[in-house]
Amino acid sequence: MGTAMIGPAKKIALGGGKSADLYLLRFGDDGRLESPQTAQMAVDAAAKATDVFVFSHGWNTVYRDALADYERFAKGFIAQRAEHGLPTPPDYAPVLIGVIWPSAWFVFGDAKGPKIAGGPGGLEAAKMLAEVTKDLSPEARSEIFEIVDGSVRLNEAEATRVAKLMKPLWTSDPSMGAPNLKAILAAWQRLDGGDSTPFTPDNSPIGRRRGSGDGQVAAAGGGRFDPVTWARMASVWQIKARAGEVGKKGVGPLLVRLLKASKTSRIHLVGHSFGARVMLSAVARPTLPRNVHSLLLLQPAVNRWCFAAEVLDTGRKGGYAEVLDRVDRPIISTWSTHDFPLHEAFHLFVRGDSLGEINAAAVGDTERYGALGGYGPGGLSGSQTLKAKALKPGDDYALNGSKKVVVLDGSGEVDGKVAIPSHGEVNSPVTWWMLHQLVAK
C-alpha cells in the first residue's frame, strides 16, 4: 500500500503549459473520509474549476494501482482530445479526484485476488479465512478454524456449520437482508463445479423460482465444499457492502461539498466495478444541492434492476432509481459477455433477501439477479434507454435525446479488438471516448 500525502498526488499535463491537479482521497472501512486536509484543498480547487472529475476504482485495487489507473485514464483522455481535435474551452480548468477505498482483501506480494471463481490462484487459504473472519467473535473464529484447518474439502455438515458461524458477515450491511443458508450452500457448490446445469430465468438450479419461498431451493448436486470458495464469497459480500458505505458516508458528503463550493463547475463521476456502487450510493444517498453533470459506469458490479421503477414482481423500485433524475447527462453504463465475474458469477456470489440494489440479491437466475455490467439493465422502458454497441473513438453516440441511460455493449470488436475483453480492462481509448461524449456538452 502506498503512502498518502497532503495535497495533490500528481500534476497531469494538459498541454499548452497548463496542468491539472490529481488529488487522492482515502476512505476507511466504515466509509468515512480519512484525508480531511487534502479533501479541503480539492474542494477549494473545485470552487475555481470548470470541471471536476471524480474516479472510483473497483475491488482488489491497492493504492499504487489506483494511482496508476487514474493517471493513465487522465493522460489517455487528455491525449485523445488532441488526437481528435476536440476543442478546449479557453477557460478550461479541470480538477481530478481519485477515491482510494479499502477494496483489496487478499493481495499478498504480487498476487492479486480473489478471482471471483476457480482455484485459489496461489493465495493461502488460511490467510484468506483469517482476514474474512476478523470481525467475528473469538469463539466463532476458533470453531471455524478448527473445522477448516488442514481441510481441502468440507462435508455438508461442516460447510453448513461454517456458513452459520459466518452469517454475521453476510448481515453486516443492514440494508442487504439476511441470507438463506440453503441458497448459499447451493451457490457454494455451484462455484466449486458441483453442478453444471445451465441456469435460466425459468430453470435456476440454485435459486428461487418466481413465487417460491426461501425454503424452496433446488439442490446443486452432490459433492464437497472448498473453504477457499467460501472465503471468496464472504469477501465479495463484505466488499460490496463496504462500497455502499464509502459512497453513502464518504463520497456522498464530498459531492455535496464540491457542488456547494461552485455553482458553475460540472461534476463528472466515473466508477468501475464496485466503484460504480460507490458512485451510485454517493448520488442516491445524500440530498444534493444540484445535479452532477455526468456519470460513467464501467462494468458496474450492481444488480441489473437498480434503476427500475418497479423491480419485477416485488412492488418496489430499484435502490438507485432516484439517480436517474440527479444526473444532467444520460448515464452511460457498459456491459460485456467477456466479463466473467459479472456475466458468470456475480449472481452466485451475492445473496440477500431483496432485489435491485441498494438491497441486492443474487442466486442463480440472471434475469432477476444478474449484474448490470454482465447483462445490462432490467426494468427500464425503451423511452428511457438507448442500447448500442461500443463505438470507436471519433464516432458519436446519440446522447441528445430524452434517454436516461445509454447501455453500451462492449462484447464486440472495435478496431479489431474486443472493446471490453474482461472485467478489469476498461481503461482504454474506447472508454476514454465515452467520457468525452458525456463531457462534450
Strand partners, 292: 327
The mean per-residue pLDDT over the stretch 373-377 comes to 92
Residue 415 near residue 392, CB atoms below 8 Å: yes
Per the rule left: phi > 0, alpha: psi between -120 and 50, beta: everything else, 43 is alpha
Mapped onto helix, strand or coil, the DSSP state of residue 48 is: coil
Question: DSSP of 261-325, one letter per residue?
Answer: H-SSPEEEEEEETHHHHHHHHHHHSS--SS-BSEEEEES--SBTTTT-SS-TTSS---TTGGGGG
Strand partners, 20: 12
Q: Which three cell numbers stand for residue 364?
A: 442463480
What is the value of pTM for the model shown? 0.83
353 pLDDT higher than 70:
no
From CA 417, how far away is CA 130, in angstroms rounded? Answer: 41
Confidence (pLDDT) at 4: 53
- Which of 50-54, 106-110, 201-205, 308-312 shows the lowest mean pLDDT across its residues? 201-205
User: CATH 3.40.50 residue ranges in the chain?
Assistant: 10-105+239-348+366-439
Please tell me the total number of residues recorded for the chain in this structure: 441
β pairing state of 10-15 and 18-26: antiparallel
171 pLDDT higher than 70:
no
Say which CATH class 10-105+239-348+366-439 falls into. alpha beta
The pLDDT tens digits for 142-165 are 999 899 887 888 998 999 999 888
The pLDDT tens digits for 178-215 are 556 776 787 787 777 654 333 322 222 222 222 223 33
Which of the pair, 198 or 49, is modelled with greater confidence? 49
DSSP classification of residue 134: T
Q: How confident is the model at residue 46 (pLDDT cuts 50, 70, 90)?
A: very high
Q: Which three cell numbers stand for residue 237?
A: 459480500
